[in-house]
A and B are shown apart, each in its own frame.
Chain A
Amino acid sequence: MVKVVTDSCSDITPQLAQELGITVVPLYVQFGNETYRDNVDLSTEEFYHKLETSKIRPITSTATPADFAKLFTRLAEETKEILTITLSQAFSGTYTAALQGKAMVSKNCHIEVIDSKLGAGAQMLLVILAAQMARAGASLDHIVDQVKKAIPRIHIRMTFDTLEYLRKGGRIGKAQAFLGGLLKVNPILGIKDGAAFPIARSRNRTQGMDFLVNYVRGFSQIEALAIEDATTPDDLQALAERLKDVVPPERIYRSKVSPVVGTHVGPHVLAVAVLEAE
């Protein structure tokens, strides 16, 4: 059976990973001299708490080639086929690290590395799709083909209530267009061609949530939906309530936005990701 690997930016929860047989490679989060493995040494909740309270701006860094090499070597004991789906190259060097890790593996094993050109909940939906196919016994080639075809059908929108984190960030591409405004806004970001992209601006959280709801409701057929928050479970619950009828509950995935994205958007992020039906 094909083994599916992804990085911690996919926001896949440990429970879901276990359920679907997905291996998650943690990225690293650094606050000053302290280094943590994302969601291993430092839970997502703890990260956001530190983000809000620490004077030090966190730095996130990619999983290393050695991390991937070690993992691939271990997995090669049990499978001949490994599929790795990484965060978009525009956000992180994880894709390159995975490729380098693959080159370091001496065992006879077919390893494919795919750049999802996505992140967060969007990446999660892609990984879930791959894992479900793997569990159904599909071949690696078939899964790779299907995954690549699915990327354009996955869409993400996120809103947050301050530009402060974006301002301090700097690696989030065209989203910088939102900076410098003299009016307080709740931006809406998406991912386009693998990079963060400014979508629109709302004036407050209510409008931002309305935008997300209307965005999801604008799709005629949805195969799966991911909804995420960071530190605002009530808002996530409200969002879930408003979207509960767009797709059966077993295909709605709830999670938390991981630190790599969170560093740029702050603790009040809300995100929706949609896998559009073919």
Chain B
Amino acid sequence: MKTDLADGQTLKEMFASGTAWLEKSAADINAINVFPVPDGDTGTNMVLTMQFALEEAKLNSDNHVSSVAKSLAHGALMGARGNSGVILSQFFRGLAKGLEGKTHFDGGDFARALAGASQTAYKGIVNPVEGTILTVLKDASKAAQEAVKNDDALVSVLEDAVKSAKVSVARTPSLLPVLKEAGVVDAGGQGLYVLLDGALQFLKGESHKIQYRRPRLVVAETELVPRAAQRPSQLEMPHGYCTNFALEGQNLNLSKIEKDLKKKGQSLIVTGDDTLVRVHIHSFEPSEILRYATRLGKLHEITINNMDDQYVEFIKMQRERMPQADIAMVTVATGDGFFELLNSLGNIIIVPGGQTMNPSVRELLQAVESAPSDNIILLPNNKNIVSAASQVRSLTSKKVKVIPTRNIPQGIAAFLAFGYDMNLEKNAQAMEKAIKKVRAIEVTRAVRGTRLNGLEIRKGQFIAMLNDEDLIARADKVGDVIFEALGKAGAEKAGIVTIYYGAEIKDAEAQEIAQEIRDRYHTEVEVVYGGQPHYNYIISLE
């Protein structure tokens, strides 16, 4: 059966619906990251990436599907956050390539585009791993191609693709041992499935139902450990508008206001009593928030700031401090202590990582473009930003060297290795060498219970990660987890240990730990305030 051909508007609506569906699932998806660390938000990263894609598509008034697909691809690339976001942007790039030159598309076109998207996504990753979003995409595209043989209607092709994606997600733990051990399905794969499922609901004319329902996590084929409840994910990234106001009224219901506004933005803070409420929220549509609030009472002290402008100001201010260097450094950091520390060590443009430590490609690009040199060294300081940082290279005419710093201790080691008399190449070499000599221990609380590396971990227990790869220790007391981790990380060989303590830690506590390390290992120990969220301690061994 041949249905009407779909146009660009359809494609837009499909992914708008998919994104709405994905947004509802974001918290659940965040919860199934393998490592129970608080900043590995795959769900949030995918949603943010999709929001950028849709923003870009919205600005495009052209109704040709090829043009809309291109906008989606460009937007996704600019907004890509985290690994899953980058893969998502590769998906849209492939889709745009497949739909190039077309005004309309049918199931056959979509299946071919999906196949191209799968290939593009595989190519974009240095070491593709099966049992991830890549596998899910590949399986979905295969199913779509099969479906075309029977019926090339878009809706039926997508339906088969979604079904296959679901099966594929369920199979991820059997392909990737680390998922199996943790008892979760792949978060990125789950996200892709939900996105496509949401798109399918639009084609079926069911997208209005999205607001009343919520996507369920695909259940793994293998037996799963029951999941603990999740904290909501928070974002502190500058984008959109920061809206502040005081609301005066009678019988104001704080919790209801909080609940209602939560849907409209991020970084929400609601304080006050039943006659006066203060609201702080980040959103793309401040008018919607004000409209909501005016229905409840009188508004005072309204301020709306464009956070992108604030960000540009911030970059400008940093730029004025730069010397006449031929190489500019751009880095990502989170925590006021780290901002101050990095600034004290020299001229460097800092992109605030926000709560998730995951700035978008666009934010990195802005920093690179604003840097006072055509030679840029980019230190991502997070394994999830390395690929986003690599994307920046193809988006700027500047020469950008990405040093794959996976954590802030590596970033600081690289920064210190910066040689004022060396060219870009030589500096990059020196930095790559320097980061190999650093081991980083990051201590946080598990956001859920899980099993990893043969360790049973309860929610709220302290856990320590080594080099963002291995969970090497867990304990109920922070001191215990630190010393177990230090032992496993080979602290006795370290020449200097640096303790960066987080926003919620007191200096005295950090000093005590430092003294104990000195006593036990007879090594030099320095204590520095990092001010990072989530991580109580970040410890560097050199």
Q: Which A residues contact B (CB, under 8 angstroms)?
A: 174, 177, 180-185, 190, 192, 197-204, 206-207
B442 to chain A: closest CB distance in Å? 18
26 CB < 8 A contacts A-B: A174-B420, A177-B420, A181-B344, A181-B345, A182-B340, A182-B341, A183-B412, A183-B498, A183-B526, A184-B526, A185-B416, A190-B421, A197-B421, A199-B419, A199-B420, A200-B416, A200-B418, A200-B419, A200-B430, A201-B416, A202-B416, A203-B495, A203-B496, A203-B498, A204-B524, A207-B495
B416 touches A199 (CB 8 A): no
Q: Which 9 A-B pairs rank lowest in CB-CB distance, beginning with the nearest?
A: A201-B416, A182-B344, A206-B495, A204-B496, A203-B496, A182-B341, A181-B345, A200-B419, A181-B344
How far apart sit A200 and B345, CA to CA, in the bound complex (Å)? 11
How far apart sit A192 and B421, CA to CA, in the bound complex (Å)? 9
A10 to chain B: closest CB distance in Å? 23
How far apart sit A177 and B321, CA to CA, in the bound complex (Å)? 12
A157 to chain B: closest CB distance in Å? 11
Interfacial residues of chain B within 479-515, with CB under 8 A of chain A in the complex: 495-496, 498
Q: Which residue of A lies closest to B337 (CB)?
A: A182
B346 touches A177 (CB 8 A): yes
Question: Does more than half of chain A's interface fall in helix, strand or loop, or is it mixed?
Answer: mixed
* Besides A177-B323, A184-B526, 15 other A-B contacts (C-beta < 8 A): A177-B346, A177-B420, A182-B340, A182-B341, A183-B341, A183-B345, A183-B526, A198-B420, A200-B430, A203-B416, A204-B495, A204-B542, A206-B495, A207-B495, A207-B496
A182 touches B416 (CB 8 A): no
B379 to chain A: closest CB distance in Å? 15
0/1 interface trace, chain B 524-541, chain A, CB 8 Å (1 if under): 101010000000000000
A103 to chain B: closest CB distance in Å? 36
Q: Which residue of B lies closest to A204 (CB)?
A: B496
A2 to chain B: closest CB distance in Å? 34
Contacts of B340 in A (CB 8 A): 182
Contacts of B416 in A (CB 8 A): 183, 185, 200-203
Q: Which B residues contact A (CB, under 8 angstroms)?
A: 323, 340-341, 344-346, 412-413, 416-421, 430, 495-496, 498, 524, 526, 528, 542
A32 to chain B: closest CB distance in Å? 34
B495 touches A182 (CB 8 A): no
Contacts of B524 in A (CB 8 A): 204
B419 touches A183 (CB 8 A): no
Contacts of B344 in A (CB 8 A): 180-183
Contacts of A174 in B (CB 8 A): 420
How far apart sit A69 and B169, CA to CA, in the bound complex (Å)? 89
How far apart sit A207 and B417, CA to CA, in the bound complex (Å)? 11
Q: Which residue of B lies closest to A211 (CB)?
A: B417
Contacts of A204 in B (CB 8 A): 495-496, 524, 542
Contacts of A177 in B (CB 8 A): 323, 346, 420
The answer to whether residues A182 and B430 also contact, given A197-B421, A200-B417 and a CB cut-off of 8 A, is no
Contacts of A199 in B (CB 8 A): 419-421
Q: Which residue of B lies closest to A214 (CB)?
A: B433
Contacts of B498 in A (CB 8 A): 183, 203
How far apart sit A180 and B345, CA to CA, in the bound complex (Å)? 7
B245 to chain A: closest CB distance in Å? 37
Contacts of A185 in B (CB 8 A): 416
Contacts of B430 in A (CB 8 A): 200
A182 touches B542 (CB 8 A): no
Contacts of A184 in B (CB 8 A): 526
Contacts of A183 in B (CB 8 A): 341, 344-345, 412, 416, 498, 526, 528
How far apart sit A174 and B323, CA to CA, in the bound complex (Å)? 11
Contacts of B419 in A (CB 8 A): 199-200
Q: Which residue of B lies closest to A174 (CB)?
A: B420
A181 to chain B: closest CB distance in Å? 5
How far apart sit A203 and B528, CA to CA, in the bound complex (Å)? 14
Contacts of B528 in A (CB 8 A): 182-183
B28 to chain A: closest CB distance in Å? 40
Contacts of A182 in B (CB 8 A): 340-341, 344-345, 528
How far apart sit A177 and B324, CA to CA, in the bound complex (Å)? 12
Q: Which residue of B lies closest to A201 (CB)?
A: B416
How far apart sit A190 and B421, CA to CA, in the bound complex (Å)? 9
Contacts of A201 in B (CB 8 A): 345, 416-417
Contacts of B345 in A (CB 8 A): 181-183, 201
How far apart sit A147 and B344, CA to CA, in the bound complex (Å)? 40
How far apart sit A132 and B419, CA to CA, in the bound complex (Å)? 34
The answer to whether residues A197 and B420 also contact, given A181-B344, A182-B340, A183-B526 and a CB cut-off of 8 A, is yes
Contacts of B346 in A (CB 8 A): 177, 181
Q: Which residue of B lies closest to A184 (CB)?
A: B526
B113 to chain A: closest CB distance in Å? 50
How far apart sit A180 and B340, CA to CA, in the bound complex (Å)? 11
How far apart sit A199 and B345, CA to CA, in the bound complex (Å)? 13
How far apart sit A278 and B420, CA to CA, in the bound complex (Å)? 25
Contacts of B542 in A (CB 8 A): 203-204, 207
Contacts of B412 in A (CB 8 A): 183
How far apart sit A202 and B414, CA to CA, in the bound complex (Å)? 10
How far apart sit A23 and B542, CA to CA, in the bound complex (Å)? 46
